[in-house]
Amino acid sequence: MADPETQLKIAFHGAAGTVTGSCMELTLGQRRILIDCGLFQGSRSLETLNHGAFGFDVGTIDAVLLTHAHIDHCGLLPKLAKEGYRGGVWCTAPTADLLEYMLADAGRIQESDTARRNRRYDRAGEKMFEPLYTEADGLRAWRLTRPAELGTWFEPAPGFKARLWNAGHILGSASVELEAGGVRLLFSGDLGPDNKAFQSDPDAPTGMDFIICESTYGDRPRPKLTIEDRRQLLETEVKAALARGGNLIIPTFALERTQELLLDLARLAEANRIPNVPIFVDSPLASRATKVFAAHAAELEDVAGSDIFRHPSIRYVEDVAESIRLNSVSGAIILAASGMCEGGRIRHHLEHNLHRRQSTILFVGFQARGSLGRVILDGAERVRVSGKDINVRAAVRRIESYSAHADRDELAAWIRERHPIRGGLFLDHGESEAIEALRFLVQSETPGLAVVAPAIGESFALTPGAPPKRIQTGRVDLTQLAGDDWQNDYADFAANLKHNLAHIRSEKGRRRALDDMRRVLAGYEAARSEQKRRRRAA
Determine the pLDDT at residue 134. 96
Determine the pLDDT at residue 173. 97
Determine the pLDDT at residue 275. 95
* 3-state secondary structure (DSSP) of residue 194: coil
Rounded Cα distance, 489 and 497, in Å: 12
Task: Say what angle helices 93-119 and 135-142 make with each other, to 10 degrees.
Answer: 170
Among 219-233, 341-355, 439-453, 473-487, the minimum mean pLDDT is found in 473-487
Mean pLDDT of the 126-151 span:
95
Tens of pLDDT, residue by residue over 468-522, are: 999 999 876 665 555 555 666 666 676 677 778 888 888 888 888 888 888 888 8
* 3-state secondary structure (DSSP) of residue 165: strand
56, 74 Cβ separation under 8 angstroms: no
Determine the pLDDT at residue 531. 80
pLDDT at 366 over 90: no
23 pairs with which residues across the strands?
14
Task: Say what angle helices 257-270 and 227-243 make with each other, to 10 degrees.
Answer: 80
- Summary mean pLDDT of the chain: 90
Determine the pLDDT at residue 224. 86
Q: Where are the alpha helices (DSSP H) in 299-404?
A: 320-325, 346-353, 372-377
Residue with the bigger pLDDT between 28 and 319: it is 28
Rounded Cα distance, 443 and 446, in Å: 5
Of the pLDDT bands very low, low, confident and very high (cuts 50, 70, 90), residue 440 is very high
CA distances from residue 262 to 41, 144, 325, 327, 402 in whole angstroms, order as listed: 25, 31, 22, 22, 12
CATH 3.40.50.10890 fits 227-402, yes or no: yes
Among 165-179, 184-198, 377-391, 493-507, the minimum mean pLDDT is found in 493-507
Of the pLDDT bands very low, low, confident and very high (cuts 50, 70, 90), residue 281 is very high
* 3-state secondary structure (DSSP) of residue 80: helix
High-pLDDT (> 90) share of the chain, %: 67
Q: CA-based angle 279:283:284, to the nearest 5? A: 120
pLDDT at 536 over 80: no
Determine the pLDDT at residue 490. 66
21, 40 Cβ separation under 8 angstroms: yes
pLDDT at 330 over 60: yes
180 pairs with which residues across the strands?
183
Determine the pLDDT at residue 406. 95
Determine the pLDDT at residue 48. 86
In sign, the C-alpha dihedral spanning 12, 405, 396, 248 is: positive
Rounded Cα distance, 172 and 73, in Å: 13
Determine the pLDDT at residue 300. 86
Tens of pLDDT, residue by residue over 224-265, are: 888 899 999 999 999 999 999 999 999 998 889 999 999 999
Of 94, 259, 227, 264, give the one whose Cα is nearest residue 171: 94
Tens of pLDDT, residue by residue over 58-101, are: 999 999 999 999 999 999 999 999 999 999 999 999 999 999 99
Determine the pLDDT at residue 480. 57
Residue with the bigger pLDDT between 266 and 194: it is 266
Among 1-15, 47-61, 219-233, 423-437, the minimum mean pLDDT is found in 1-15
Rounded Cα distance, 397 and 250, in Å: 10
Rounded Cα distance, 369 and 384, in Å: 16
Determine the pLDDT at residue 367. 86
Determine the pLDDT at residue 117. 78
Tell which CATH architecture fits domain 8-221+404-479.
4-Layer Sandwich (3.60)
Determine the pLDDT at residue 457. 94
391 φ/ψ angles, rounded to the nearest 5 degrees: -75, 135
Put residue 212 in one of left, alpha, beta given phi > 0 → left and psi -120 to 50 → alpha.
beta
Per DSSP, the residues of 5-22 read: TT-EEEEEEESSSSSS--
* 3-state secondary structure (DSSP) of residue 240: helix
Strands 183-187 and 174-180: antiparallel
Tens of pLDDT, residue by residue over 170-184, are: 999 999 999 999 999
DSSP 42: S
Q: Is 299 exposed, middle or buried (0-12, 13-18, 19+ CB in 10 A)?
A: middle
CA distances from residue 9 to 63, 185, 468 in whole angstroms, order as listed: 16, 12, 9
Tens of pLDDT, residue by residue over 413-430, are: 999 999 999 999 999 999
DSSP 308: G
Rounded Cα distance, 337 and 156, in Å: 34
Q: CA-based angle 359:365:370, to the nearest 5? A: 90
Q: CA-based angle 61:64:67, to the nearest 5? A: 155
What is the amino acid identity at position 195? Answer: N
- Map out the domains of the chain as residue ranges: 8-221+404-479, 227-402
Of the pLDDT bands very low, low, confident and very high (cuts 50, 70, 90), residue 36 is very high
Residue with the bigger pLDDT between 116 and 256: it is 256
Of the pLDDT bands very low, low, confident and very high (cuts 50, 70, 90), residue 282 is very high
29, 41 Cβ separation under 8 angstroms: no
Cis peptide before 338 (omega within 30 of 0): yes
* 3-state secondary structure (DSSP) of residue 256: coil
Of the pLDDT bands very low, low, confident and very high (cuts 50, 70, 90), residue 126 is confident
High-pLDDT (> 70) share of the chain, %: 94
pTM: 0.83
